[in-house]
Amino acid sequence: MWTAVYESKGPGQRSWTQQSPDESVRLIEAHGAGPEGSVVDVGGGASSLALALLDRGYRDVTVVDIAPPALSELRTASTTRGHQTTRLTTVVNDVLEFDPPKRFAIWHDRAVFHFLVEPIQQARYRARLTSLLEPGGLAIIATFSPDGPTACSGLPVQRWSTNSLAEFFAPEFESIETFTSDHVTPAGSTQPFSWVALRLSNTAITQ
Ligand SMILES: C[S@@+](CC[C@H](N)C(=O)[O-])C[C@H]1O[C@@H](n2cnc3c(N)ncnc32)[C@H](O)[C@@H]1O
């Protein structure tokens, strides 16, 4: 399904496309450990966040997505910008199956967790996140907020408030910043998002 979306729509026709990933970059710079730390953008697709981080000197950026054409588009954009290819890793996988041999300092998810509408999927996501983040690591998650759309690309979503997101990931994660913001789609409509920045406890029991 997602592959077909990327094959049939250019960046300007996808509702989630941002001019610039401003909230994400600001949160990463405010709360992350700097360009030395590894970053994973789950369901990052062809988003320009990876490019923005590579522009800023990040050395270890991974983007995971289930749609291969999205990652091809991203790789082409990165090459065009002259980034060192070894700094960007792209992985075709479902975030719920993602099982790399390392942990990350930063986990970023904009507009992916909200597609997990079943409690069992949400629990699996939380388990993946907890085990793939370094202790003390930063998780940034953005979903449609309670006054946001009820679906995206024909798929239902679960809308979350900032409080409900923070509560869902507690107590292993401490909420360090929350806010809401409006995304204006390329077609001109407004989508309210809930954003949370969470810190994984240094003592969380992970596997
Ligand atoms: C609404 S788009 C958001 C893309 C990007 N995060 C952004 O902010 O521009 C959702 C993305 O998540 C990907 N996706 C959806 N479900 C996924 C899953 N279970 N695992 C990995 N990627 C997924 C889609 O292919 C798509 O690229």
| Secondary structure (DSSP) of the chain | -HHHHHHH--GGGSTT--SS-HHHHHHHHHHS--TTS-EEEET-TT-THHHHHHHTT---EEEEES-HHHHHHHHHHHHHTT--GGGEEEEES-TTT---SS-EEEEEEESSGGG--SHHHHHHHHHHHHHHEEEEEEEEEEEE-TTS-SEETTEE-----HHHHHHHHTTTEEEEEEEEEEEEPTTS-EEEEEEEEEEE-TT----
- Cα 44 to middle of ligand 1, angstroms: 6
Nearest-CA residue for atom 3 of ligand 1: 111
* Pocket of ligand 1 contains residue 65 by CB under 6 Å: yes
The residues that bridge with 175 in the sheet, in sequence order, are 198
Domain boundaries defined on the chain? 2-9+22-190
Give the separation between CA 33 and CA 25, rounded to whole angstroms. 13
Give the residues of the chain that fall short of pLDDT 70. Answer: 204-207
Q: Assess whether the C-beta atom of 44 lies below 6 angstroms from ligand 1.
A: yes
pLDDT value, residue 26: 98
Q: Is the CB of 21 under 6 A from ligand 1?
A: no
Q: How confident is the model at residue 151, as a pLDDT?
A: 93
Q: Give the tens place of pLDDT for each residue, 153-185.
A: 899 999 999 999 999 999 999 999 999 999 999
pLDDT at 202: 84
Closest listed residue to residue 107, CA positions, set 48, 28, 16, 54: 28
Answer yes or no: is the C-beta of 47 below 6 A from any ligand 1 atom. Answer: yes
27 CB near ligand 1 (under 6 Å): no
Alpha-carbon Rg for the chain, nearest whole angstrom, is: 16
Q: pTM of the full predicted structure?
A: 0.97
Ligand 1 atom nearest the C-alpha of 41 is: 6
> Which residue type, as a one-letter code, is found at position 142?
A
203 CA distance to ligand 1 centroid (A)? 30
The CB of 110 under 6 Å from ligand 1? The reply is yes
- The pair of three-digit structure tokens given for residue 83, joined into one six-digit string: 């980034």
Q: What is the pLDDT of residue 170?
A: 97
**For position 204, what pLDDT does the model report?**
66
CA of 112 to the centre of ligand 1 (A): 5
Ligand 1: nearest atom to the Cα of 21: 8
Residue 121, both tokens:
């999927």
Q: What confidence score (pLDDT) does residue 19 get?
A: 87
Q: Which residue has the tokens 């001019």?
A: 19
CATH for 2-9+22-190 (3.30.230.10, 3.20.20.300, 3.40.50.360, 3.40.50.150): 3.40.50.150
Q: Does the C-beta of 45 come closer than 6 Å to ligand 1?
A: yes
For residue 38, report the distance from its CA to the centre of ligand 1, in Å.
20
